[in-house]
Amino acid sequence: MNFALAGNPNSGKTTLFNLLTGSTAHVGNWPGVTVDRREGVYRGLAEDVRIIDLPGIYSLSPYTPEEVVSRRYILEGAPDLIINIVDSTNLERNLYLTTQILESDIPVVVALNMSDVIRSEGESLNVSLLSERLGVPVVEISALRNEGIEELMEAAYKTASTPRIGFSPVESSPMAGEMREIAGLFRENGTSHPVFRAVKAIEGDSLYSSPGESIAANVMAIRDKISLPPALDGDFEEAVADIRYRYIASNYMQARVRADNSPMFSKSDKIDRLLTNKLFGLPIFFAIMFLIFHLTFSDSVMFSRFLADGGFPAPGVMMQDWMGMLTDWVIESARAALELWRADAWLTGLVADGLLSGVGAVLSFLPQILMLFLFLSILEDSGYMARAALLMDRPLRRFGLSGRAFLPMLMGFGCSVPAIMGTRTLVDERERRLTVMLMPFFSCGAKLPIWSLFAAAIFPRNADKAVFGMYLIGLAAAIVTAIMLRQTILKGDASYFIMELPAYRMPRLRNLAMHLWEKVKGFVTKAATIITCATVVIWFLSNFNFSLKMVDANSRDSIVGVVGSLAVPLFRPLGFVSMPDPWRAVVAIVTGLIAKEMVVSTLGVLYNPEIDANALSDETSSGALNLALVGSFSPAAALSFMTFNLLCVPCMAAVAAANAEFRNKKWMFTTIAFWISTAWIGAFIVYHAASLFL
Ligand code: GDP
Ligand code: MG
């Protein structure tokens, strides 16, 4: 038997699913879309039952991949039963989906989740009344505390073998007659789920309303007989939504019993009056975000540099230092071991300088990424992120994005890789693509060393303004291209943003640990595969010439040196390759495509072979590099070079992440082409504008 789990996002579906399926769970993908398909087996009944976790949805309309996947499974996958999980603290919004599920002919059991919260707020639910009015069994559960689960599954098992006929609130509305007529046509025709399809036909929903040529005209003729109130302006979808909400309010909401002594507003309402306040909402939000980034990225936490000399680094930075020490130790040990075994120089170079350094450089970001994700998971689980997205929705809407895009964009300032993975929360496919495409423009942490280097060398008096300028150029590029993309290849408006505000909850350790584990797994896998390959290739290309003889690392005779020289003409209009030996800047750009961390070390090696690339933070050696750079880059050329690095392909890990999100080669190549051309055009504009003014 197959039971499908359906419910709104944040209703506790995953928690219930994990409880039911335990170790049998596995994740796949729904065909053709980037939506997770979770499946597992529940063994607590007379026979094993397969549980399919449908994606979290608010409705069974055809607008998001999640909705399409869910309704296709409900209508065509023929589950034996649907467990509709309902967040009892948000009964009205959750039952909206329930009314749609009940229109199918599939047996349904409603699980009223979060019953522990309801109780603690001094309320209760009249389960038998609700069950009688919904016409299906209703069981109170708490997925979190493992309460009521066995009762739920027993009820489900019993119900699964009892046939059910779809029911719709439309049946007690002015258009009931027409709906029944259309349903009758479908029934005669032998179409499954006649009530569901009849309501969809009235809503004007294309996907499941077209019953084939034979009765389509009849269906339309019946629908045309319906007269809507003029206020609705012929919007059938809204008319039906209206009917649903009215029906819920007048038939189901009496099930909610407030205890006499319960306060007028729940705790959540009170907190929300402050946190989503028109005046204070955004400032509070930015303060929280600042705190998170500060704790993750600052090297002088809580401005402690004013207290102690140098100050204390933030926990994130401290852990990154430790991770750096660990990887350095591994690299040095490997080098020592190889030398002990008298390995050839090229082997030592490949393993220590190529492989381990490359992977190590990337892994050293793991602590900060984890930390950022920990904070963000806490905000998410507590219910605060829903509020933040709501607050940012209006400002973002002007650029064709909705509030949901905000969080990934914010994360992009830290690292594009988790940010791109974070776009999964976006419901609209085009919006998701747009957000991924804009990602490089939010200057990530790995680009900061480039800005610092050039700011100190070329703009010593205006270092802060030069760095700040990079962030502004990135934002400008994001705004301009977002508007352009929305009018061309990603036509359309931001998705309609309905988001129920879940009640605030204490985040649970188990949930947090699981989220983090998924992130670590993804990140480490990427580091181990893509980055390893890329590093080995780059190391090889910069250490060998075309006749496969080893040359001085990064010299002009190496393969990158030769190819870099060939590519110089492409970059000439951008101004930064006019100095002697112009290929060097090109090679730095190219290594930057692998990882932006490599730009500074490449420049170090190429422009001043005397100095140790690892000691760039050291005052004296960076002084030498600064002098070399001043000789090679005019201010305008430096800005152009920085702009190109800012706007171009962020790094191979980001490309891999984007590829995993798109799952579409054509889009991937379009996006890479978009990044490269934006970088070229941006650098061109910056160079010529700066040449005029500087
Ligand atoms: P999903 O989005 O529907 O998959 O929801 P999750 O399973 O991720 O749950 C969302 C949040 O609700 C998590 O923080 C859970 O710990 C919490 N949660 C789930 N079920 C319950 C419950 O019965 N009681 C309480 N208090 N919290 C719950
Ligand atoms: Mg979930």
Give the global pTM.
0.54
Cα(122) to centroid(ligand 2), Å: 27
Contact assessment for residue 372 and residue 292, using Cβ atoms and an 8 Å cutoff: yes
Retrieve residue 436's tokens: 């991924």
Mutation pick for ligand 1 pocket among 13, 116, 144, 376 (CB with most ligand atoms within 8 Å): 144
Tell me the C-alpha to C-alpha distance, in Å, between residue 367 and each of 82, 298, 342, 505, 614.
Answer: 41, 14, 35, 26, 21
Q: What is the 3-state secondary structure (H, E, C) of 4-22?
A: EEEECCCCCHHHHHHHHHH
Retrieve residue 405's tokens: 């895009």
Distance of CA 531 to the CA centre of its chain: 21
- Closest atom of ligand 1 to CA, residue 381: 14
Among 198, 207, 6, CA closest to 109: 6
Tell me the C-alpha to C-alpha distance, in Å, between residue 633 and each of 593, 607, 641.
Answer: 21, 11, 9
Contact assessment for residue 671 and residue 662, using Cβ atoms and an 8 Å cutoff: yes
Measured on CA atoms in the order 556, 561, 564, 566, is the torsion positive or negative?
A: positive
- Look-up of token digits 């007379």: 46
In this prediction, residue 623 carries a pLDDT of 59
Q: Tell me if residue 256 falls in helix, strand or coil.
A: strand
Cα(386) to centroid(ligand 1), Å: 14
Among 71, 54, 48, CA closest to 14: 54
In this prediction, residue 105 carries a pLDDT of 95
Contact assessment for residue 216 and residue 194, using Cβ atoms and an 8 Å cutoff: no
Q: Count other C-beta atoms under 10 Å from residue 224's C-beta.
A: 9
Residues in the chain: 694
Cα(11) to centroid(ligand 1), Å: 6
For residue 661, what are the contacts with CB-CB under 8 A and spacing of at least 6?
A: 34, 420, 421, 423, 424, 432, 436
Cα(475) to centroid(ligand 2), Å: 32
In this prediction, residue 620 carries a pLDDT of 43
- Helical axes 267-275 vs 384-397, angle rounded to 10°: 40
Q: Atom 19 (ligand 1): residue with closest C-alpha?
A: 12
**Strands, sheet with 36-42, edge to edge from the N-terminal-most edge strand:** 26-29, 36-42, 49-53, 2-7, 81-87, 108-113, 138-140
Ligand nearest to the CA of 17: 1
pLDDT tens-digit profile of 589-614?
A: 988 888 887 787 777 766 654 444 44
Cα(43) to centroid(ligand 1), Å: 22
Among 515, 507, 517, 425, CA closest to 144: 507
Among 282, 546, 320, 536, CA closest to 414: 320
Ligand nearest to the CA of 510: 1
Ligand nearest to the CA of 112: 1
Q: Tell me if residue 552 falls in helix, strand or coil.
A: coil
Q: What are the backbone dihedrals phi and psi of residue 687, each rounded to the nearest 5 degrees, phi first?
A: -60, -45
- Helical axes 583-594 vs 635-647, angle rounded to 10°: 30
Residue type at 411 in one-letter notation: M
Q: Atom 18 (ligand 1): residue with closest C-alpha?
A: 12
Cα(36) to centroid(ligand 2), Å: 10
Residues with CB under 5 A from ligand 2 (ion): 14
Q: Count other C-beta atoms under 10 Å from residue 306's C-beta.
A: 8
In this prediction, residue 167 carries a pLDDT of 95
For residue 641, what are the contacts with CB-CB under 8 A and spacing of at least 6?
A: 454, 574, 576, 585, 589, 633, 683
Retrieve residue 401's tokens: 């994005």
Residue type at 357 in one-letter notation: S
In this prediction, residue 418 carries a pLDDT of 77
Q: Could you tell me which residues are beta bridge partners of residue 28?
A: 37
In this prediction, residue 133 carries a pLDDT of 93
Cα(384) to centroid(ligand 1), Å: 14
Mutation pick for ligand 1 pocket among 8, 10, 379 (CB with most ligand atoms within 8 Å): 10
Q: What is the 3-state secondary structure (H, E, C) of 104-157?
A: CCCCEEEEEECHHHHHHCCEEECHHHHHHHHCCCEEECECCCCECHHHHHHHHH
- DSSP structure class, residue 242: H
- Closest atom of ligand 1 to CA, residue 113: 23
Q: Atom 12 (ligand 1): residue with closest C-alpha?
A: 12
Q: Atom 28 (ligand 1): residue with closest C-alpha?
A: 144
Ligand nearest to the CA of 145: 1
Burial environment of residue 282 by CB neighbours within 10 A (0 to 12, 13 to 18, 19 or more): middle
Q: Could you tell me the maximum CA-CA distance found in the chain, to the nearest angstrom?
A: 90
Among 80, 75, 100, 81, CA closest to 192: 75
- DSSP structure class, residue 439: G
Own/partner contacts of 562-570, CB < 8 Å, gap of 24 or more, are: 564/590
Among 62, 136, 56, CA closest to 103: 136
User: Residues of the chain whose pLDDT is less than 70?
Assistant: 32-34, 206-214, 231, 258-266, 297-311, 353-354, 357-358, 361-362, 364-365, 425, 427, 493-501, 522-523, 526-527, 530-531, 534-535, 553-554, 578-580, 605-625
From CA 24, how far away is CA 153, in angstroms rounded? 17
Where b means 16+ CB within 10 Å and e means fewer, 575-599 reads bbbebeebbbbbbbbbbbbbbbbbb
- Closest atom of ligand 1 to CA, residue 145: 23
In this prediction, residue 342 carries a pLDDT of 83
Mutation pick for ligand 1 pocket among 15, 20, 57, 84 (CB with most ligand atoms within 8 Å): 15
In this prediction, residue 61 carries a pLDDT of 84
Q: Where are the alpha helices (DSSP H) in 423-500?
A: 429-438, 448-458, 463-487
Cα(114) to centroid(ligand 1), Å: 8
Ligand nearest to the CA of 514: 1
Cα(392) to centroid(ligand 1), Å: 24
Among 100, 101, 130, 104, CA closest to 115: 130
- Closest atom of ligand 1 to CA, residue 506: 14
Q: Which residues line ligand 1 (CB under 6 A)?
A: 7, 9-15, 56, 113-114, 116-117, 142-144, 381, 505, 508, 511
Burial environment of residue 209 by CB neighbours within 10 A (0 to 12, 13 to 18, 19 or more): buried
- Closest atom of ligand 1 to CA, residue 15: 7
For residue 159, what are the contacts with CB-CB under 8 A and spacing of at least 6?
A: 81, 107, 108, 109, 136, 137
Q: Count other C-beta atoms under 10 Å from residue 79's C-beta.
A: 22
Q: What are the backbone dihedrals phi and psi of residue 153, each rounded to the nearest 5 degrees, phi first?
A: -70, -35
Cα(381) to centroid(ligand 1), Å: 8
Torsion of CA 207, 208, 212, 217, to 10 degrees: -90
Q: Atom 17 (ligand 1): residue with closest C-alpha?
A: 12
| Residue 335 Ramachandran class (φ > 0 left, ψ -120 to 50 alpha, else beta) | alpha
In this prediction, residue 65 carries a pLDDT of 84
In this prediction, residue 180 carries a pLDDT of 94
Q: Count other C-beta atoms under 10 Å from residue 261's C-beta.
A: 6
Cα(56) to centroid(ligand 2), Å: 7
- Strand ranges in 482-638 using DSSP code E only, listed in sequence order: none
Q: How many CA atoms lie within 13 A of 196 on its CB side?
A: 26
Q: Could you tell me which residues are beta bridge partners of residue 49?
A: 42
In this prediction, residue 135 carries a pLDDT of 95
From CA 518, how far away is CA 397, in angstroms rounded? 31
